[in-house]
Structure 1
Amino acid sequence: MKKQLIIPDRSVYDNLKICVKEYGSLCALDYFGREISYRELIREINRCACALVACGINRGDVVSVCLPNIPQAVYLLYAINKLGAVSDIIDPYIGENDIIARVEQSGSRYIFALDTIYEKIETLNSKLNVSLLVTASVSDEMPIIMKTGHILKNFGIKKRRSLFMDWNSFISKASPSDRYISAHSTGNTIWAFISEGSDTVQYCKVSNKKFNDFAVYCLDMCGNIEKADRVLAVIPISQAFGICTCIHSVFSVGGTAVILPNFNNNDIDKAILRYLPNVIAGDSGMYRALCERKGFDGEDLSFINTAIMTGQFDDDLKKHVREHLSSNGSICEICELKSLTEFVKAE
């Protein structure tokens, strides 16, 4: 083993709470340059948990989180776990029928969805017995200057008046053992939605212990992720690997998860040069794009210490990635990790 990290048998939320005591002033999330400390993160999670209770959500209830990598999604996932409820994590960009099918499958009556998929959730609301539907925007938690720019950019675009509660209205309501994080999976890889509508997609539950154990496994295999390291967390949180490897395991050592919604593999060079991550993680598509980008020419990438690979990688691609990074000054360790599903099955 490259590194020994032991997480006691406690809930996912309780694990984060312990981390906050140790890393309180450090940056937990970086969202378009807005740095959210561990103390601020736990405060927002607790506030979110209070709002969930105010909306009638109790232990054992299923809550669908149909959001990209934005701070509200992180707040929700830990707040839901704190209450002993179940997080049903859904990719907001899959088809309307697939979203409806997955909500039906989980039995959820509480939905948090991205505001830009309004038509999908309007249909969902009309077809299912939904008790609560809240919309969130990618701009809600942006730095004030960027948020203003986002508003100005969309000024004049006529929007239909929303029938649903928005995030600010929801959060204003705010006054360990068998809790769960749930994810959809093909059972073979982490890419839960690679085959949209496929009959092979399963609905699986992962206990707190297994989720925490997987975070330990990720850190153990990578070996050199340290306190205050910056991790480019662009794998969607709707995929188990995205929330556990790129966020939960990072929090366990006091690192910073740099989260971005709507990430495009072709922007990997821009994201790396803007946010200067010590750790990058992705699938073969992202790494192929990385090797093809010309934006790294003449740039110093020595700040990259670790490249995490998940999914199917052939030896040629791994060699190409290693050579491409080293030619730009990064002598990093390349780590291949199992998916959460594979990890659980192997135990």
Structure 2
Amino acid sequence: MSDTIVKTPWKDSMGEVPMHLEYFDGSMFEAVEQIAKKYPGNIAFTFMGKSTTYRQMIREIEQCAKALKTIGVREGDKVTIAMPNCPQAIYMFYAVNLVGGIANMIHPLSAEKEIEFYLNASESVAAVTLDQFYNKFEKVRERTKVVNMIIASVRDALSPTIKAGYMLTEGRKIEKIPEDAPVIMWKDFMKLSRSCYYKTYKVKREGADPAVILYSGGTTGTTKGIVLTNKNFNALGQQVIAANPMFRPGDRMLAAMPLFHGFGLGVCVHTMLSQGGRCILIPRFTAKSYAKQIVKYKCNFIAGVPTLYEALLRLPSMDGANLSSLKGVFSGGDSLSIELKKKFDK
């Protein structure tokens, strides 16, 4: 068999960026666990003013994994995660990976028919979403293979002070879930970890094993599920950091791009958490609130789509804003015009 010759004319222009990388061949959880052992006291993510260290995050992920094992989730099972960027979504995502399952990531604002399609296409045995989306899932559940429905609430992840304000505003709008609803509330779910009698609840997974299902935009017809492996995400994390040698552990990424999108999940979250960065989790945003968070948290990296950056440049608050903390700006989802880049660079 003859060798394949590939031309690499860009080789001499790589600068500090290495031409080749040795990719980690374990699971996504293992990649995060390794960095957590290295920087246990570092902040892994901040959500609405409340910070969580790597040590605390790993503890919550392992507790969540034990709970999943208790309700019957096994190696290869699919678990649908329909959540905004919040702590429970992070815990569940890596917990599913830890027990050898496959995370089926979907938009929490999907219509009922879409949710039914996603649940059936993935053959999910369990699903987790927020209390405000419960009714949509309950209406289609009987036509799916979902056995366990886990319901989380944003208020459970808030500090006491922020929680009080949330319950007086956003929290008041959420319809109460019936007491006899066939669901497991997040706090009760996490307590199930105490009943996990499996000493080996952690399932060994390798780089080539399937780990995540993301969905195409459906621009050419029916949306399609795309199965991605552990190595897909771990390699992305290593590539992003290798291409940005100015990155340092503890650097802050504004994680506003959604978890059901490869950009948000791969770059904003897994890259940061597998390399020692800090995610500023934003569950929803506008251009105005996005700009405010960049300055408030002195973010080192931000990620967005071109239309978002165009909107940022139109904001009066961005005139004279101190963005000296920024080291890198990622753009994806569409082509970034040269004109827009020049405006942003100014």
Q: Give TM-score, length-normalised by structure 2.
A: 0.86
Amino acid corresponding to residue 105 of structure 2 in structure 1: I
CA distance in 2, matches of 1:319, 1:156: 43
Which residue number corresponds to residue 133 of structure 1?
Answer: 149
- 1:306-343 deviation digits (Å, cap 9, x = unpaired): 111112211111112112xxxxxxxxxxxxxxxxxxxx
Distance change in 2, residues 1:6/1:229 (3 Å): farther
Deviation of 1:159 after TM superposition, in Å, equals 2.5
Residue pair 2:120, 2:145 contacting (<8 A) in 1 also: no
Secondary structure, aligned partner of 1:172: helix
Deviation of 1:200 after TM superposition, in Å, equals 5.0
CA distance in 1, matches of 2:50, 2:40: 16
CA distance in 2, matches of 1:217, 1:320: 27
- 1:39-68 deviation digits (Å, cap 9, x = unpaired): 001000000000000111111110000111
CA distance in 1, matches of 2:173, 2:52: 31
Deviant stretches of 4+, over 4 Å: 3-7, 155-158
Which residue number corresponds to residue 331 of structure 1?
Answer: none
CA distance in 2, matches of 1:267, 1:142: 18
Aligned counterpart in structure 2 of residue 248 of structure 1, from 236, 259, 270:
270
Aligned counterpart in structure 1 of residue 188 of structure 2, from 152, 157, 169:
169
> Are 1:71 and 2:87 matched, yes or no?
yes
Amino acid corresponding to residue 218 of structure 1 in structure 2: V
Which residue number corresponds to residue 237 of structure 2?
Answer: 215
Aligned counterpart in structure 1 of residue 118 of structure 2, from 102, 111, 130:
102
Amino acid corresponding to residue 264 of structure 2 in structure 1: G
CA distance in 2, matches of 1:241, 1:157: 29
Distance change in 2, residues 1:273/1:207 (3 Å): same
**Correspondence list, 1:45-60, <5 A:** 45-60=61-76
Which residue number corresponds to residue 36 of structure 1?
Answer: 52
Secondary structure, aligned partner of 2:154: coil
Which residue number corresponds to residue 81 of structure 1?
Answer: 97
Task: Name structure 2 gaps, 5 residues minimum.
Answer: 1-13, 195-204
Distance change in 2, residues 1:160/1:234 (3 Å): same
Deviation of 1:253 after TM superposition, in Å, equals 2.5
Which residue number corresponds to residue 226 of structure 2?
Answer: 204
Which residue number corresponds to residue 212 of structure 2?
Answer: 182
Q: Give TM-score, length-normalised by structure 1.
A: 0.85
Distance change in 2, residues 1:105/1:237 (3 Å): same
Residue pair 1:284, 1:313 contacting (<8 A) in 2 also: yes
Alpha-carbon RMSD across the aligned residues, in angstroms, is 1.9
Amino acid corresponding to residue 49 of structure 2 in structure 1: G
Aligned counterpart in structure 2 of residue 279 of structure 1, from 268, 277, 301:
301
Distance change in 2, residues 1:19/1:158 (3 Å): closer
**Correspondence list, 1:333-344, <5 A:** none
Which residue number corresponds to residue 311 of structure 2?
Answer: 289
Residue pair 1:280, 1:308 contacting (<8 A) in 2 also: yes
CA distance in 2, matches of 1:239, 1:87: 13
CA distance in 2, matches of 1:216, 1:156: 42
Residue pair 2:64, 2:193 contacting (<8 A) in 1 also: yes
Q: How many residues are paired up?
A: 315
